Amino acid sequence: MNTSRDAIYANELRIASLYAYDWIDKDGDGKVSYDETAMISRAGAWGTVQQLLISEPFKRIKGNMLIGIYQVPKVFSFWLGMSDKDSEAFDYTLTLAYYKRDRWGMLNINGEDELRLSIEPHGKATFRASISIPEDVVEGIYQGYITIESSKQVTNIPVSFIVPLDMPSKDVPFMINKSDISRDDPLNLLYTNALMQGSFDMFSRYNAGEWKYYYLNVRDASVNTLSIKITWENEFSSLSVFVLDPKGDIVASNVSAGVFKEFINWPSNDWLGRSISGSGAFYPAQNNGKNSTVVYAPANSPGIYTIMMHNTLFHAKDSFTEPLSIEVKPSTILADTKPPSVDVRIPSYAKGSIDLSINVRDENLEYISYSIDDSMPIVVSDSNAKVSIDTTKLDDGLHTLTIFSRDKVGHISINRYTFYVDNTPPSIEVKGIQSSATIPALTSSNAYLVSGVLKISIDVRDATLKNFNVILPDGKVIENEHDISIDTSMLSDGEHELRVYAYDNAGNSSESVLRLMVDNTPPRVSIVSPADMSKVSGLLEVRYEVDDQNLKSVAIAIDGNAKTVDPTGSYIIDTKGLIDGEHTIEVIAEDMLGHKSSALVNINAVNYAPVIEAEKEAIRVSAKEQGFQQGTLIGISVGIAVGIGAMIGIYAIRSRANR
């Protein structure tokens, strides 16, 4: 009755009206226009089902039948009326059924099957009608017509009769149902007493829905109690049930008004009373599960007792009908004043298959059954029965075991035991791993590469969690702590494990393993060649060694200008790009956790000094031979300056290229 989780019953409904039109496509364009339609009928009940009937459709529909479904634009509340809240779109099921007149086989006239007489005006006819009841007929009221016709008019004479449920004995259940009925058979929808139909309307129409009547013929004078159980199919349907004695007085009901009838003339306890929206709203009246109700009525004398039912809520989703099953048991109350006593030992938490002992004690024990969550009861034949329950067929969560027992007098014991099914082990999630050094990475063995101090968050979840343990890499055990700090400097470098074990109250357990690769040691770096303060020229091969399992990068720096290189252990430097003199070569290594280390050597580049000296000597000799020593010396000085400038330019260009 609510389309949301509104806690107030019938406070938020989305409703749609149902219309039937005769549509004649006058212009033949296949599109519906308002001037091409004529309304035939309308259903606008304030409830969850709309039901519309069209009699003699072939006479009333000249073109095509058009179905219109119009959603009420605002959300409706039984208590407050129409609200300002817009009604959202919702799904619906549209069901159509077609009926035709059928021969009523229970009635015949003058021994003939034809239920039609022809009498002309001012004429007279005498006939004999007889009723024949089949053995498999469902108890209840039956009605039909005998047609009287003339050349000018037709008249139908109503005929109705009752087929009661005969109960010749006591302490035996009698049924009113038809187990082989099919709701897909249209002939059964209108003419059977085993189905309830008729939508309800909670807006000012108390009589909306259908009223059904069943009659019980109690013949045993010792019977003083009638036990009545009514079961239907849909949990959102509901029935108000009343039992009348042979005098016509209401002696029992599943919706007895109690003191409200005396003080405010309240008709039943499932009626919601009057509001600004009307007075036809009801509350579900089930008292034996979601789709069943039981009524116990006194039977003070033999005679015809009446069961009167009203479907106050009707929610047959895929059909027009709600199948009914009525069980009636006449009983006698004896001096046995105690109901059966039941003893069941059931664990509070359960998983897998559990074995139970159901012990029921009573001198006149007649019936024992058990059910889980109001499912179909399972009959137990032994008062000390052993039963097994497979909890894997149940959803995880709280369940109820119901033990129903009855003695021969009619005393009933209904004992309910709650237990929690948990077939799911706890979930463990280790997250939020943070390292004081850097964000950890995963190694090829799915181990987190870490160093420094770790901050680890452990999330363990289970509806019935009992406890969990954390075994640290050093073997220390911590219980039920979600935030853990680990100082990896206290561990040796290499792979370690952190294990989490979780247990729930049902006996399920889980294990999670977190692998850690501890690395608190920076890389080891050494330069094999050249030796420190070596004199070098031309192409120089720098050979080095770097040792680290989690190496990230290697860089070569010349006079502080670093360049990342492949960690092959060898690197070629063209010393001609350097100024003659002392330079520093440094090998820098960094691992994946940011640890760095380096090794360096100093070299002495001698590429240009010998060349310059040779040029100077050649110029001096040539000048001497030509007698121009003074001018030559000036030229030599200029040449030396130019040579040094060119060498500096080459070094600057190559230094930029090496960056």
pLDDT in tens, 464-515: 999 999 999 999 999 999 999 888 889 999 899 999 999 999 999 999 998 8
Matching residue, tokens 């059931």: 346
Query: Is the distance from CB of 351 to CB of 262 less than 8 angstroms?
Result: no
Three-state secondary structure readout of 521-550 = CCCEEEEEECCCCEEECCEEEEEEEEECCC
Long-range Cβ pairs for the range 242-246 (8 Å, 24+):
242/307, 242/308, 242/309, 243/295, 243/297, 243/305, 243/306, 243/307, 243/308, 244/305, 244/306, 244/308, 245/297, 245/298, 245/299, 245/300, 245/301, 245/303, 245/305, 246/301, 246/303, 246/304, 246/305
- Give residue-wise pLDDT tens across range 214-253: 999 999 887 889 999 999 888 888 899 999 999 999 999 9
Q: Where are the domains of the chain?
A: 16-86, 107-162, 165-331, 341-421, 427-518, 524-605, 609-658
* Alpha carbon distances (Å) from 134 to 102, 110, 436: 17, 19, 89
* Alpha carbon distances (Å) from 598 to 279, 527, 587, 658: 91, 9, 5, 19
Whether omega for the bond prior to residue 246 falls within 30 degrees of 0, making it cis, is: no
Range scoring the smallest mean pLDDT among 239-253, 264-278, 386-400, 566-580: 264-278
C-alpha torsion angle, residues 97, 98, 103, 105 (rounded to 10): 0
The yes-or-no verdict on residue 634 having pLDDT over 50 is no
pLDDT value at residue 3: 60
Run of H or E including 459: strand 453-461
pLDDT value at residue 364: 75
- Local confidence band at 372 (pLDDT 50, 70, 90 cut-offs): very high
Integer Cα distance of 513 and 503 in angstroms: 15
Task: State the burial class of residue 184 (Cβ atoms within 10 Å of its Cβ: 0-12, 13-18, 19+).
Answer: exposed
Higher pLDDT residue, 439 or 536?
536
Q: Is 352 helix (H, G, I), strand (E, B) or coil?
A: coil
- Give residue-wise pLDDT tens across range 282-331: 888 889 988 999 999 999 899 999 999 998 888 877 777 888 899 999 98
- Give residue-wise pLDDT tens across range 89-118: 888 888 888 877 777 778 888 877 777 888
Domain 427-518 fold: Immunoglobulin-like (2.60.40)
pLDDT value at residue 1: 64
Percent of the chain with pLDDT over 90: 38
Strands (E), 568-608: 570-574, 581-591, 596-605
pLDDT value at residue 656: 41
Q: Is 495 helix (H, G, I), strand (E, B) or coil?
A: strand
Q: Is 386 helix (H, G, I), strand (E, B) or coil?
A: strand
Integer Cα distance of 505 and 401 in angstroms: 19
pTM of the model: 0.50
The yes-or-no verdict on residue 20 having pLDDT over 90 is yes
Domain 524-605 fold: Immunoglobulin-like (2.60.40)
The yes-or-no verdict on residue 624 having pLDDT over 70 is no
Run of H or E including 229: strand 225-231
- CA torsion sign, 235 to 353 to 415 to 336? positive
Q: What is the token pair recorded at 121? A: 């005006």
With b meaning 16 or more CB within 10 Å and e meaning fewer, what string describes 600-610?
A: ebebbbebbee
Strands 303-313 and 174-176: unpaired
- Give residue-wise pLDDT tens across range 416-432: 999 999 999 999 998 86
- Local confidence band at 179 (pLDDT 50, 70, 90 cut-offs): low
Pick the CATH number of 165-331 from 2.60.120.380, 3.20.20.70, 2.160.10.10, 3.30.420.40: 2.60.120.380
pLDDT value at residue 205: 61
Query: Is the distance from CB of 409 to CB of 365 less than 8 angstroms?
Result: no
CATH superfamily membership of 341-421: Immunoglobulins (2.60.40.10)
Integer Cα distance of 540 and 520 in angstroms: 34
Gyration radius of the chain's alpha carbons = 49
pLDDT value at residue 659: 40
Query: Is the distance from CB of 311 to CB of 237 less than 8 angstroms?
Result: yes
Percent of the chain with pLDDT over 70: 87
* Fold match between domain 341-421 and domain 524-605: yes
